[in-house]
């Protein structure tokens, strides 16, 4: 209850949820003695794959007995998820005390919720100067609150695509503009560019960062992987190749994210990992709401022996990689869909092929979501579309047969509600 009250106060410090500027967080961090200058960080920017890449790096670093601090957003089930310090998520009391300290220093000055959370993370992470910080950038990178580091160990550029276009002027809602926002202000250290959805995007990234003096690694040019039909995959870069066991996470895109994580950790000289750390780490990745299979709980009880997956993808690029995974499965697929109002709902669903049924639902506690009934009406051209008010009714209404799969997707907020319900 105390934590909820503090969060509520912090959310009222600025009239806007997002206000792209660095002035406010720089001023607050100056009052906090610039904690962002006292940490060792790997920054992760991009549209999709940031969280998964961070979790892969984290799993490998833990195997190497290297302590980490992690900052991600948004949270899925509870706000504490955003604050992992010294390999441990902050408790309610620890987070309450931290936020109260920073709130007091801020002294009621206007600042967005994300900005004050970011300042709080930097302030706490400075207590662990030898830890590796894995920092996920927010909406865009150039004016994102996380982009106040003077130096870092590396910048990872994950897959970039169209998303959050409503935060850009109409004439600038292009992939070129998004690439510029995300990559034009990367630090001069090491840059690792993950697999992109097209050669055009890869070339545009290269063009944007050509004057950056960093060491640069590009997927397919400097590192790569090959998938095996057996129980392993093969990773290779300039340091040599490694035969790796299959990871404990679903989807081809996860192999791409894991490969980028390996490339990053092998490149950064300050980090000492070996092949055994990598081999063990890739089988212990904790990935919430990224093709996560629900194996027990209230919702699993409803589907019985059928598979139940939850995935927080919410943009066309996410839909594409999600469908790639679904097409690799020999079964009927049923989708339960809830989305935020500002997404391109028709384009998102256009990537899914051969879906047996589609059920739209409301996302509870999210005023910026589109109602499930309205979402159904926007997707009326698709076959076998129905609306149900909630997840329980949606699951119970689906005519599943033996070996069928149910996937709940469309929003990280929906994924959080689903995991809490379960």
Q: Does 229 score more than 80 pLDDT?
A: no
- Same domain, residue pair 272 and 301: no
Res 320: pLDDT? 92
**Which are the contacts of 370, defined by CB distance < 8 A and separation ≥ 6?**
339, 340, 341, 343, 345, 378
Instruction: Answer yes or no: is 30 within a domain.
Output: yes
Res 71: pLDDT? 98
Task: List, for residues 349-379, the tens digit of each pLDDT value.
Answer: 999 988 999 999 999 989 999 999 999 999 9
Residue that terminates a domain, selected from 281, 307, 337: 281
Res 172: pLDDT? 67
The residue-averaged pLDDT of 381-399 equals 95
Rounded CA gap, 422 and 298, in Å? Answer: 5
Short-list 42, 16, 51, 82, CA closest to 314: 51
pLDDT confidence band for 390 (50 / 70 / 90):
very high
User: Which token pair is 165?
Assistant: 């276009």
Give percent above pLDDT 90 in the chain.
86
Res 17: pLDDT? 79
- Same domain, residue pair 236 and 357: no
The residue-averaged pLDDT of 130-139 equals 93
Q: Spell out the long-range contacts of 395-401 with Cβ–Cβ below 8 A and sequence spacing 24 or more.
A: 395/299, 395/302, 395/303, 395/308, 395/336, 396/302, 397/359, 398/334, 398/336, 398/357, 398/359, 399/357, 400/303, 400/306, 400/332, 400/334, 401/332
- Same domain, residue pair 275 and 307: no
- Same domain, residue pair 356 and 228: no
CATH number, residue 96:
3.40.1190.10
The residue-averaged pLDDT of 152-168 equals 81
- Same domain, residue pair 298 and 398: yes
Instruction: Answer yes or no: is 286 within a domain.
Output: no
> What is the count of structural domains for the chain?
2
Res 234: pLDDT? 96
Res 167: pLDDT? 58
Instruction: Answer yes or no: is 287 within a domain.
Output: no
Residue that terminates a domain, selected from 281, 316, 343: 281
Q: Is 27 helix (H, G, I), strand (E, B) or coil?
A: helix
The residue-averaged pLDDT of 188-198 equals 96
Rounded CA gap, 355 and 378, in Å? Answer: 17
The residue-averaged pLDDT of 62-70 equals 98
Res 164: pLDDT? 59
The residue-averaged pLDDT of 30-47 equals 97
> Mean pLDDT in the chain?
94
Rounded CA gap, 20 and 43, in Å? Answer: 18
Q: Does 166 score more than 80 pLDDT?
A: no
Residue that terminates a domain, selected from 281, 308, 328: 281
190 conformational bin, left if phi > 0, alpha if psi -120 to 50, beta if neither: beta
Instruction: Answer yes or no: is 243 within a domain.
Output: yes
- Same domain, residue pair 184 and 326: no
Task: List, for residues 250-295, the tens digit of each pLDDT value.
Answer: 988 999 999 999 999 999 999 999 999 999 999 999 989 999 999 9
- Same domain, residue pair 80 and 206: yes
- DSSP code of residue 90: P
- Same domain, residue pair 244 and 311: no
Q: Does 169 score more than 80 pLDDT?
A: no
Instruction: Answer yes or no: is 332 within a domain.
Output: yes
The H-or-E segment that residue 325 falls in is helix 316-327
Q: Does 400 score more than 60 pLDDT?
A: yes
Instruction: Answer yes or no: is 204 within a domain.
Output: yes
- Same domain, residue pair 123 and 151: yes
- Same domain, residue pair 250 and 368: no
CATH number, residue 342:
3.90.190.20
Q: Does 165 score more than 60 pLDDT?
A: no
Task: List, for residues 303-329, the tens digit of each pLDDT value.
Answer: 999 999 999 999 888 999 999 999 999
Res 9: pLDDT? 96
The residue-averaged pLDDT of 195-209 equals 95
- Same domain, residue pair 314 and 405: yes
- Same domain, residue pair 347 and 417: yes
Up-side HSE of residue 393: CA atoms within 13 Å toward CB?
10
Domain of 299 in residue numbering reads as 292-421
């Amino acid at each position: 209850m105390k934590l909820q009250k503090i969060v509520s106060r912090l959310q009222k410090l600025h009239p806007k949820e997002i206000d792209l500027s660095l002035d406010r967080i720089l001023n607050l961090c100056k009052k906090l003695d610039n904690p962002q200058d006292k940490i060792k960080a790997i920054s992760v920017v991009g549209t999709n794959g940031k969280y998964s890449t961070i979790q892969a790096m984290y799993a490998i670093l833990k195997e190497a007995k290297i302590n980490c601090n992690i900052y991600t957003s948004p949270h899925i089930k509870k706000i504490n998820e955003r604050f992992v310090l010294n390999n441990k998520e902050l408790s309610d009391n620890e987070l309450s005390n931290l936020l109260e300290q920073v709130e007091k220093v801020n002294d009621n000055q206007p600042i967005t919720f994300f900005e004050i959370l970011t300042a709080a993370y930097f302030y706490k992470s400075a207590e662990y100067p030898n830890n590796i910080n894995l920092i996920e950038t927010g909406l865009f990178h150039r004016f994102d609150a996380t982009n106040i580091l003077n130096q870092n160990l590396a910048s990872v550029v994950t897959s970039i695509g169209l998303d959050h276009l409503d935060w850009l002027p109409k004439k600038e809602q292009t992939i070129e503009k998004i690439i510029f926002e995300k990559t034009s202000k990367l630090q001069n250290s090491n840059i690792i560019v993950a697999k992109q959805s097209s050669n055009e995007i890869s070339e545009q990234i290269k063009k944007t960062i050509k004057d950056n003096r960093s060491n640069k690694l590009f997927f397919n040019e400097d590192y790569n992987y090959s998938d095996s039909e057996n129980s392993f995959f093969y990773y290779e870069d300039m340091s040599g190749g490694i035969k790796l066991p299959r990871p404990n996470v679903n989807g081809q895109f996860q192999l791409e994210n894991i490969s980028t994580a390996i490339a990053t950790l092998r490149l950064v000289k300050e980090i000492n990992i070996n092949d055994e750390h990598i081999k063990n780490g890739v089988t212990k990745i904790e990935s919430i709401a990224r093709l996560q299979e629900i194996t027990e709980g209230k919702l699993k009880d409803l589907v019985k022996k059928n598979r139940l997956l939850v995935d927080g993808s919410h943009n066309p690029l996410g839909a594409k990689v999600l469908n790639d995974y679904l097409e690799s499965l020999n079964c009927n697929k049923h989708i339960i869909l809830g989305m935020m109002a500002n997404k391109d709902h028709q384009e998102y669903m256009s990537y899914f092929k051969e879906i047996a049924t589609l059920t739209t639902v409301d996302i509870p506690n999210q005023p910026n979501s589109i109602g499930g009934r309205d979402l159904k009406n926007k997707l009326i051209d698709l076959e076998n579309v129905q609306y149900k008010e909630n997840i329980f009714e949606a699951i119970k209404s689906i005519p599943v047969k033996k070996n069928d799969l149910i996937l709940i997707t469309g929003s990280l907020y929906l994924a959080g509600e689903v995991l809490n319900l379960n």
